[in-house]
Chain A
Amino acid sequence: MKTILEARKLSKSYGQLLAVDAVDLAIEEGICFGLLGPNGAGKTTTIEMLEGILTPNAGEILFRGKPIDRQFKKKVGIQFQSTSLPEFITVKETLELFRAFYPEPRDMDELIDICSLSDILKQDNRKLSGGQRQRMLLALAIIPNPEIVFLDEPTTGLDPQARRNFWDLIKKIKAERKTILLTTHYMEEAELLCDKIAIMDKGVMVECDTPAKLLEKHFDGALVKVPHQRNAKLKSGDSKIVGDMLEIQTETLHDTLHELIHANIDMTGLSIHKPNLEDLFIKLTGSSLRS
């Protein structure tokens, strides 16, 4: 696949604080790329440099192999983490305002349809709910019919229902073969939407690959958990006591289960868990995502 956007040794500091430290990344055309990391990891700074909003202190950004220029703005769609909309005007008027900014804006009906805005067209921007607002901001982002869409934590603060609705919108945009760069706090979101993820922590890129490859690389087999009774010595797998649970990381699930039965351990409350991105995240950054 062709690389659409590439960052080389991208750095940005605010005063003494080095927010982003020599980050390299390459995003292939047509994929949904997830940028994950705990709060303060440098995700927003990174995405805003890639958007051309922030100027990096060092490094370069290439769009289709060339450094980004003024024309870049016409080819990208951006949804910021927090944006106020002009007050006292309606959703439809706001769409019209932003459509006027671009030489070839997307059709109004199409925007309304993709982002499910028909019910709120006449609503004042100030009176939108969290979910409605994000839908509206997404519509603004796709007005230029962008080649690449940047979404900075678009579902943070939404209720589970609104979040799922928003994922459906992102899937529609994905189906148009547009490249999406998404930052998120939610691993299930990344798992569901992203073809490739990068995990950042303290301004540094920790890992970058497809979710499947990353899980394969960092975890073997399955995680077995049973309520802890006595320190069972198991030959297979790697066991440790976490809270009141005995956790066994094993490559040979069959042997482990066999051993547990032989050791006469009460299996009530047994769970077998396939490691997911959340586990990977905690393993790599050492902190819980939502902390």
Chain B
Amino acid sequence: MKQFTAIVKARTMEFVRDRGTFFWNLIFPFVLVIGFSFAFSGNNDELFKVGLIGEIPAGLESEFFSLDQIDFIDYSEEGTEEREELVEKVRQHQLDMLVDFSTGKYFLNQQSPNADVLRVLLLQRSIGVSEFSTLTGLSEQEVTGEDIRYVDWLVPGVIGMNMLFSCLFGVGFVIVRYRKNGVLKRIKATPVTPLMFISAQMASRFIIVIITSVVVFVGTNLFLGFTMKGSYFNLLLITALAILCMISLGLIFAARIKSEELASGLMNLVTFPMIIFSGVFFSLEGMPKLMQTFSKIFPLTHFVEGARDIMLEGAGLTAILPNVLSLAGMTILFLGIASLVFNWD
């Protein structure tokens, strides 16, 4: 235990005293979140987004459904569960309207400024079409919900991305450097075991990353006031789990590689697709199903999904359980691989 705490202390001091890295870890995500919030602050969408479920029944084919200003998205393929989520999208202003022909309901968000416009458009452009001239066959369902700004949606992604960099490079890169310059060899000559050394490195990085993530979250929240519907405990839980998982992934790179250039190249090779396909900056919704399934192999995807569900939808532990279990499973897998492959030299 004495060995463990001594290594954790030394490694943490090394991080804190390395001013450049220290501030980069804090300032980079901060700048990114603030920057994005400005860049996407104006809602420049000229189109209304209306979701449709089921075929438009004969007699209802009004001019409304062929308006160029409206982006109609056909969700007919979705199952019942997904349809529930579509209503959620209306609630979060991601969809302006949802028309479900199968149940004869359409949904509008009271708090959305677009709702009134759409309602008027619907009435006007449907005049004289048929006996159901004004969608009379359908009943309006009102939902309410505050607008989810892009930045609310973005922040878990940016924090997740920062965690990924910090975990992968902070563990992977540093241990490779230790191996190259002989620090590992020096420690190998002491009674410290690889397991002890590695777990101390993990612990130090874990403390560092969880503190920086909390600081970045709280710091940007002061300026931007994020939507937070779920529990902070759950958010912290999934964050902690994701950090462990990403550190374990970093350890695989750290296990054997001797060159910093190779390590950094391989880590970039993994981080870039992960950032693109984990839905950090844009939603995976529009992507092919195969791609969405593929994205599940990345720990970042599970963190981003889980954190977004907690923050934006107030998801509880059971709702994010698949993400939690995936992260836990991957952590064990990565740790197992790393410990099998690890070599001091």
A residues with CB within 8 A of B? 51, 53, 70, 73-74, 76, 78, 80, 82-89, 93-94, 96-98, 100-103, 140, 144
Contacts and interface: CB of A to CB of B under 8 A. Distances in A.
Contacts of A100: 2-3, 5-7
Interface in B178-193: 178, 181-183, 185-192
Interface in B153-184: 178, 181-183
A88 B17 contact: yes
Looking at A80, A93, A101, the one whose CB has the most chain B CB atoms below 10 A away is A101
17 contacts: A53-B189, A74-B191, A76-B189, A78-B189, A85-B183, A85-B186, A86-B14, A89-B13, A94-B10, A97-B6, A98-B190, A100-B6, A101-B3, A101-B192, A102-B190, A102-B191, A140-B186
B182 A84 contact: yes
B8 to A, nearest CB: 10
Given A87-B14, A101-B192, 14 more contacts: A53-B188, A53-B189, A70-B191, A80-B185, A83-B182, A83-B185, A86-B10, A86-B14, A88-B14, A89-B13, A97-B9, A100-B3, A101-B190, A101-B191
Q: Is the interface of A mostly helix, strand, loop or mixed?
A: loop
Contacts, number: 66
Interface string B1-45: 011011101110110011000000000000000000000000000
Contacts of A86: 10-11, 14, 183
Contact of B6 (A53, A84, A101, A144): A101
Nearest to B181: A84
Given A53-B189, A73-B189, A100-B3, A87 B10 contact: no
A10 to B, nearest CB: 18
A88 B18 contact: yes
Contacts of A78: 186, 189
A82 B10 contact: no
A51 B192 CA distance: 15
Nearest to B1: A100
A97 B14 contact: no
A109 B96 CA distance: 74
Contacts of B178: 84
A96 B6 contact: yes
A85 B6 CA distance: 15
A93 B10 contact: yes
A83 B183 contact: yes
Contact of A84 (B3, B14, B183, B188): B183
